Amino acid sequence: MPDSSDSFDDLWELAEAHVCETYVLRSFLEYLRDGDDPPEKKLERARNWKVEISIALANSKESEKVTKLFRTLRDCSPKERRVAVLKVLAEADALYARFPGSK
């Protein structure tokens, strides 16, 4: 049985790390789709995607956005947090629902 003093900090950190990684991967995919670079440059960067993602994850500007979001979520009351999370999930669902083959 878990320690009753467990504050779930480890789960918050895990979630934050995964959201940060997802954010960076999505940004990279959007760059590949919509970026102004010539196709050869995009192809070169796509071939080195692991390096590109590592650099972006190390960029404090990118991770600060996610850290700020999680700090806000952690400071909310459980009810406010639930409303915020459900709103984000609904927006994500609506975004992907418009593509063929989705739910």
pLDDT digits (tens, 9 = 90+) for 15-28: 999 999 998 998 99
Q: Helix, strand, coil % (nearest 5) of the chain?
A: 80, 0, 20
pLDDT of residue 69: 87
Rounded to two decimals, what is the model's pTM? 0.74
pLDDT of residue 79: 95
**In this structure, are residues 16 and 74 in contact, taking their beta carbons and an 8 Å threshold?**
no
pLDDT of residue 5: 54
Residue with tokens 């593509």, as numbered in its chain: 99
pLDDT digits (tens, 9 = 90+) for 27-51: 999 999 999 999 999 999 999 999 9
